[in-house]
């Protein structure tokens, strides 16, 4: 496992740009599965967690409302989970380096979401261990009942949010971004992008939704579906990745940037 080299805030949250996180993701992919860095494919997330990060995975019903889909144990502790048979909560021991995933993710329909959530938790392990260290002078940053655990709130959209008012929002956005960058590396995405436009006999270009070219609105729907299939992610995850890299932009926002 290649460690992230960057500066940190006083609370030990990485102080890093998203472009630098993309660079780090490429280093990680090149180290784990170099063939996937330039050629589109589906990264084996289970092997990545088990063999590259040396994490163990456990499935539980984490909460009644399924809001929390994944958690990472940075230290030993107890986790309150829901017993599916009795409907009651019970504490279970968890050890350092355990990723806990909600059982709702095991259905075939949720397979892309399982891969993203698993990689999100792996991303926490890659870059956020200092923030959850027991010797952190600012205290643990955990947001669940157990202070040693990071939690992914499934209904929050940290990928698209521009808000970073707290350390929690910052680390969740960083984990979302790094997860996407590892699952959909920039070099491989560029090659996929070229192939996509080659199919339409066009030169690769930025897709501008709601602009003067009506074809762009069609391509803005087709491209995320194409990318999702190649990389084994959801269409939503593919779209957000493309938006983050400004491969797909809204006309009004793009005009404002250029102005």
List, for residues 167-199, the tens digit of each pLDDT value. 888 889 999 999 999 999 999 999 999 999 999
The domain boundary, picked from 183, 199, 217, lies at 183
Query: Is residue 134 domain-shared with residue 229, that is, in the same domain?
Result: no
Q: Write a three-state SS string for 93-137.
A: EECCCEEEEEHHHHCHHHHHHHHHHHHHHHHHHHHCCHHHCCCCC
In a domain, 213, yes or no: yes
Query: Is residue 242 domain-shared with residue 139, that is, in the same domain?
Result: no
Query: Is residue 22 domain-shared with residue 147, that is, in the same domain?
Result: yes
The domain boundary, picked from 152, 183, 214, lies at 183
In a domain, 236, yes or no: yes
Helices (H), the chain: 18-32, 35-38, 45-47, 111-127, 167-183, 186-199, 214-231, 235-244, 251-258
State how far the Cα of 192 lies from the Cα of 226, in Å rounded to an integer: 9
In a domain, 69, yes or no: yes
Query: Is residue 84 domain-shared with residue 203, that is, in the same domain?
Result: no
| Cα separations in angstroms, 182 against 34, 118, 164 | 12, 12, 22
Query: Is residue 121 domain-shared with residue 167, that is, in the same domain?
Result: yes
Query: Is residue 177 domain-shared with residue 212, that is, in the same domain?
Result: no
Summarised one tens digit per residue, pLDDT across range 135-170 is: 777 665 554 445 556 665 555 554 555 555 788 888
Mean of pLDDT values over 245-252: 90
Residues in the chain: 259
In a domain, 173, yes or no: yes
| Cα separations in angstroms, 232 against 182, 226, 235 | 12, 10, 9
- Domain range spanning residue 101? 8-183
State how far the Cα of 174 lies from the Cα of 166, in Å rounded to an integer: 12
**Which tokens belong to 58?**
């456990």
Query: Is residue 134 domain-shared with residue 190, that is, in the same domain?
Result: no
Number of domains in the chain: 2
The domain boundary, picked from 167, 183, 199, lies at 183
Query: Is residue 91 domain-shared with residue 162, that is, in the same domain?
Result: yes
Query: Is residue 60 domain-shared with residue 95, that is, in the same domain?
Result: yes
Q: Which residue has the higher pLDDT, 86 or 222?
A: 222
Q: Indicate whether 207 pLDDT > 90.
A: yes
In a domain, 1, yes or no: no
Q: Which residue has the higher pLDDT, 88 or 233?
A: 233
3 state SS of 15: strand
Summarised one tens digit per residue, pLDDT across range 45-97 is: 999 999 999 999 999 998 878 788 899 998 888 888 888 888 888 988 999 99
In a domain, 2, yes or no: no
The pLDDT of residue 259 is 45
For helices 111-127 and 167-183, angle between their N-to-C axes, nearest 10 degrees? 120
Query: Is residue 30 domain-shared with residue 99, that is, in the same domain?
Result: yes
8 A C-beta contact, residue 48 and residue 136: no
The pLDDT of residue 143 is 46
Torsion of CA 172, 121, 239, 162, to 10 degrees: 0
8 A C-beta contact, residue 105 and residue 62: no
In a domain, 3, yes or no: no
Query: Is residue 145 domain-shared with residue 218, that is, in the same domain?
Result: no
State how far the Cα of 193 lies from the Cα of 256, in Å rounded to an integer: 25
State how far the Cα of 125 lies from the Cα of 128, in Å rounded to an integer: 6
Summarised one tens digit per residue, pLDDT across range 21-34 is: 999 999 999 999 99
Provide the mean pLDDT of the chain. 87
In a domain, 77, yes or no: yes
Query: Is residue 165 domain-shared with residue 237, that is, in the same domain?
Result: no
């Amino acid at each position: 496992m290649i460690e992230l080299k960057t500066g940190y805030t006083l609370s030990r949250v990485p102080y890093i740009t998203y472009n630098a996180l993309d660079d780090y993701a490429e280093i990680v992919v090149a180290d784990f599965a170099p063939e996937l860095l330039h050629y589109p494919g589906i990264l084996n997330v289970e092997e990545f967690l088990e063999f590259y990060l040396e994490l163990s995975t456990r499935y539980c019903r984490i909460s009644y409302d399924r809001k929390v889909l994944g958690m990472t144990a940075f230290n030993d502790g107890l986790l309150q989970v829901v017993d599916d048979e009795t409907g009651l909560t019970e504490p279970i021991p968890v050890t350092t380096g355990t990723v806990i995933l909600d059982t709702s993710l095991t259905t075939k329909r949720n397979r892309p979401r399982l891969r993203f959530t698993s990689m999100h938790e792996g991303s926490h392990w890659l870059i956020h261990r200092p923030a959850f260290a027991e010797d952190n002078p600012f205290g643990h940053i955990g947001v669940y009942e157990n202070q040693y655990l990071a939690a992914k709130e499934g209904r929050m959209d940290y990928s698209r949010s521009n808000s970073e008012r707290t350390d929690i929002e910052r680390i969740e956005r960083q984990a979302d971004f790094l997860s996407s960058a590892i699952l959909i590396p920039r070099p491989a995405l560029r090659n996929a992008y070229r192939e996509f436009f080659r199919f339409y006999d066009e030169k690769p270009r930025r897709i501008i939704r709601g602009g003067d070219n009506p074809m762009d609105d069609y391509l803005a729907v087709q491209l995320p579906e194409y990318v999702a299939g190649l990389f084994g992610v959801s269409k939503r995850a593919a779209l957000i990745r493309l938006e983050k890299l400004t491969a797909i932009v809204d006309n009004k926002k793009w005009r404002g940037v250029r102005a």
